[in-house]
Amino acid sequence: MTDAVEDLLQILDLEQLELNLYRGHSPDVTWQRVFGGQVIGQALVAAYRTVEDRFCHSLHAYFIRPGDPKVPIIYEVDRARDGRSFTTRRVVAIQHGKQIFNLAASFQVEEEGYEHQFDMPDVPAPEDVPSERELREKILHKLHPEVAKHFNRPRPIEIKPIDQADYLNPDKKPPTQNVWFRARKDIGDDMALNQCVLSYASDMTLLDTCTRPHGVNWLSGKVQMASLDHAMWFHAPFKANEWLLYSQDSPSSSGARGLNRGTIYTQDGRLIASVAQEGLIRRSRKT
């Protein structure tokens, strides 16, 4: 499993082609699209390569076209502004001569100020929750071999869902969920890298939240799902290899889209990030 983390770090280690121009690659998987969290993480890495002495406090991104995992992704950084306290960057991801994704990120020097936060929900500790891998292994024999291979592949992020819906026969549930997650090995103290890994992981499980009230998921064959946009705010330092609680809710779904929100806490209850995402949840034509 730790090899999966090394693979992720290699994916995030972009190749510089020219000033403000970088190239990223995708893992060798059989899936048809590039994972959205990968593009968010790589784009944030590209932005960070042009910033010094300050950290990202927010990012806003749009997924424009499905990414092709068979070809590299080119990231072009626009150095929009370098201010005394804040730095702004725009990043465009390109494949086959077309934009597939764009991101705006803002960076700030460290400052002190007023502080408050929402309290962390009262949930079981990660030690008392079965891992996603354990839950998935129970149904592998019921899946098509190619689906099972993708479903149970080694992943760099360990996930422990609380109140996981049945993968094969999901019941209708409230549009909320809590998930423990962490990187499977220590990636060091570099906050920029920890933020990039967290941004990668933040696209996991979030879109599922808006499907819970409807009793469908990506395995059911009843819904077409894709991330449309993604926003993230970083509030405090953290380490991505320590257990983090991803508390998620979905205020609304309409027009074949679902809105999802998430707050991310350390195990001792410190709020370190907030996330919002709208995604496509279109009824499958097969139903």
Q: Per-residue pLDDT tens for 14-73? A: 999 999 999 999 987 656 789 999 999 999 999 999 999 999 999 999 999 999 999 999
pLDDT at 287 over 50: no
| pLDDT bracket for residue 149 (50, 70, 90) | low
Pick the CATH number of 2-111+121-283 from 2.40.160.210, 1.10.510.10, 3.40.109.10, 3.40.50.300: 2.40.160.210
**Catalytic entry in 42, 203, 247, 250:** 203
Flag whether pLDDT at 115 surpasses 90.
yes
What CA–CA distance (Å, rounded) separates 178 from 88?
32
Percentage of residues of the chain with pLDDT beyond 90: 80
| CA 211 from centroid of its chain's CA atoms | 17
Domain locations in the chain as residue ranges: 2-111+121-283
* Type of residue at 220: S
pLDDT at residue number 147 = 66
Q: Is 277 a catalytic site residue?
A: yes
Residue 154: what pLDDT?
79
Of all helices (H) and strands (E), which one includes residue 16?
Answer: strand 15-18
Query: Of 95, 247, 253, 277, which residue is the catalytic one?
Result: 277
Long-range CB contacts for residues 116-120, cutoff 8 Å, separation at least 24: 117/235, 117/270, 117/271, 118/263, 118/271, 119/269, 120/245, 120/247, 120/265, 120/269, 120/271
Q: Structure tokens of 92? A: 């465009």
Q: How confident is the model at residue 89 (pLDDT cuts 50, 70, 90)?
A: very high
Sequential DSSP letters for 41-110: HHHHHHHHTT--S-EEEEEEEEE-S---TTS-EEEEEEEEEE-SSEEEEEEEEEETTEEEEEEEEEEE--
Exactly one of 42, 227, 247, 248 is catalytic; which is it?
A: 227
Which tokens go with 117?
A: 């936060």
pLDDT the model gives residue 55: 98
In this prediction the pTM is 0.93
- Over 80: is that where the pLDDT of 286 sits? no
Task: Give pLDDT, residue 152.
Answer: 67
Give the pair of three-digit tokens for residue 98.
Answer: 């077309």
Work out the mean pLDDT of the chain and round it to a whole number: 92
Query: Residues 2-13: pLDDT tens digits?
Result: 589 999 999 999
Q: What is the pLDDT at residue 220?
A: 74
Q: Does the annotation mark 250 as catalytic?
A: no
